[in-house]
Amino acid sequence: MKSNLYNHTFFISIIVALLVNINCIAQQIDLNNYRTRFSFKTVKQADNSRLLEVTFIALNKEDRKDQPPVYEAEIQFFNILNDEEILLGSSKTSKEGVAQLIFPENQKYSTDGEGYINLRARFNSTDALSEEEADLMVKDLHLDLNLTEIDSVKTVTLTAFTIDSLGVKTPVNDVYITTYVKAMLSKKNIDEGIISDGAYTFAMSQSFVGNTKGNLTISSIIDDNDEYGNIIQEKTVHWGTFNNQIKTDEHKLWTKAAPIWMYVVLSILLLGVYVNFTYTIVNLFKIKKEGDNIKSEPKKNYSAN
């Protein structure tokens, strides 16, 4: 009983010490040692929906590696017109400090006289953190991606234009665009160029391995443009190569087929085991037989003479 009481007291002491230590560490965290970074961006995605995204993190003024995210912070998103704030919605930051809202293609935005969509993201102040706010303005750029074969040449054609309130299309100029082939875990840059007079075309001279059906996903991206922001457009096309030929595994350590010498050594070892096993059994029968013969021999009588 005394031993159990001692053990319980010992473990309780450890728990109390840990709680006190954690409390002391928490009290040592000084928000004055951090500054916040509140970044706001918009992405027009491949399905023509628009993503609004805020990244809200704290930065240690001395240790740059110490960048804790601000979690569960409510971010409000607005469309601004003539200093009037039109609330689009709100979202809370994730454990990574990211808050997102996605609006469909048919979402209506108010634009200024030059055709810009003025957007604002705001975090209202709390007892611990001050208010954060960021604005951006973008024009709604329409990006079309066409994949065709012209005289057996795989051709990628991009067209980019804006549409005014009257429905008039205006081609864009001097917009840098990058095109990739998407893979499972990465993407490969296949072309870079500048859209001029609303169009850009290039031929795919390289061949790429597709999925099991021979399909490739081609993705064209306008990245962080001052006027249009971020735009992504992508399509899947049957331009990939797929080699379904079954290759025989080579006899190597890292393949399913082991080296020949391993089979030989293993066979010799197994043969030795079975020979030894057989030899032991044969000798056991011999010993048993000799024992039976000794028991069956008649006893000899010896006289005193």
pLDDT digits (tens, 9 = 90+) for 180-222: 998 767 789 999 999 999 999 999 888 888 888 888 999 999 9
The CATH number given to whatever domain includes residue 113 is 2.60.40.730
Whether 114 is covered by a domain: the verdict is: yes
Whether 304 is covered by a domain: the verdict is: no
Answer with the one of 105, 139, 173 that is the final residue of a domain.
139
Residue 198: domain span = 141-237
Task: Mark whether 148 and 206 lie in a shared domain.
Answer: yes
What digits encode the pLDDT tens for the residues 93-149?
A: 999 999 999 999 999 999 998 899 999 999 999 988 999 999 999 999 999 999 999
- Whole-prediction pTM: 0.67
Q: Which of 159, 190, 196 is nearest to 176 (CA)?
A: 196
Q: Count of residues for the chain?
A: 305
Task: Mark whether 147 and 189 lie in a shared domain.
Answer: yes
DSSP per-residue letters across 100-141 = EEEE-TT----B-TTSEEEEEEEE---SSS--EEEEEEEE-E
What digits encode the pLDDT tens for the residues 223-282?
A: 999 999 999 999 999 898 865 554 555 656 556 667 788 888 889 999 989 898 898 998
**What local confidence, expressed as pLDDT, does residue 292 receive?**
74
Judged by DSSP in three states, 38 sits in: strand
Q: Are 195 and 173 in contact (CB under 8 A)?
A: yes
Distance CA 71, CA 66 (A): 15
The CATH number given to whatever domain includes residue 192 is 2.60.40.1940
Task: Mark whether 132 and 148 lie in a shared domain.
Answer: no
